[in-house]
Amino acid sequence: MNFEIIIIGAGISGASFANKIVKFAKTLLLDAQDISQRPLSTNIFPFHNKPYIEETEWANVEIFPTYHVKTNYMGSKFDGIVNSEEFGRPLGKVVYLEKLLNRMIQKFEDQGGVFKDKQKVKKINKYSDHLEVITNNGQTFSCKLLVFATGSRALDLQRSMG
């Protein structure tokens, strides 16, 4: 299958970028994991990242159930508690990360993007006019632009690109 852009990694960075770029280019989002098997986990979503989330999502208590008001700080010299009252507002919101990612992936697909999980990229071939991505399932996809959003995973694959 041919795409203009392939994004490897459907974490917060990959899913965010996919949602932005799908309006402009035929896009494939790949992830090595089976997203239906991701355990539900929480994280802190700071207020300075709020511009990247639509207001309807930010207000969704199924995804963002409560404000984050205190955090324990453990440093090399000092330990303590940071209380949001010192700043006059909460530090952010608690987020169910998998619920947010599932919502972002659904929105990506609703806008015409193609998402495939359980697709670990095994090899990337470079040609003069395109790139070819081959997965562990033997599927082959081609693109003009390849985006790595794997974090610290797949470093060998990233290094293979030069």
Q: Give me the tens of pLDDT residue by residue for the chain, a chain 162 residues long.
A: 899 999 999 998 999 999 999 999 999 999 999 988 888 899 999 988 888 888 888 999 999 999 998 888 787 887 888 888 888 888 899 999 999 999 999 999 999 999 999 999 999 999 999 999 999 999 999 999 999 999 877 777 777 776
Q: Where are the beta strands (DSSP E) in 1-91?
A: 5-8, 27-30, 42-46, 66-68, 70-74, 79-83
CA distance 31 to 4: 17
Q: Residue 49 sits in which domain range?
A: 5-160
Instruction: Say how many Å lie between the first and final Cα of the chain, rounded.
Output: 24
CA 124, 125, 127, 129 dihedral sign is: negative
pTM, entire model: 0.85
Q: How many domains does the chain have?
A: 1
Residue 34: give its domain's CATH number.
3.50.50.60
Q: Residue 49 is which amino acid?
A: N
Q: CB count, 10 Å around CB of 101?
A: 21
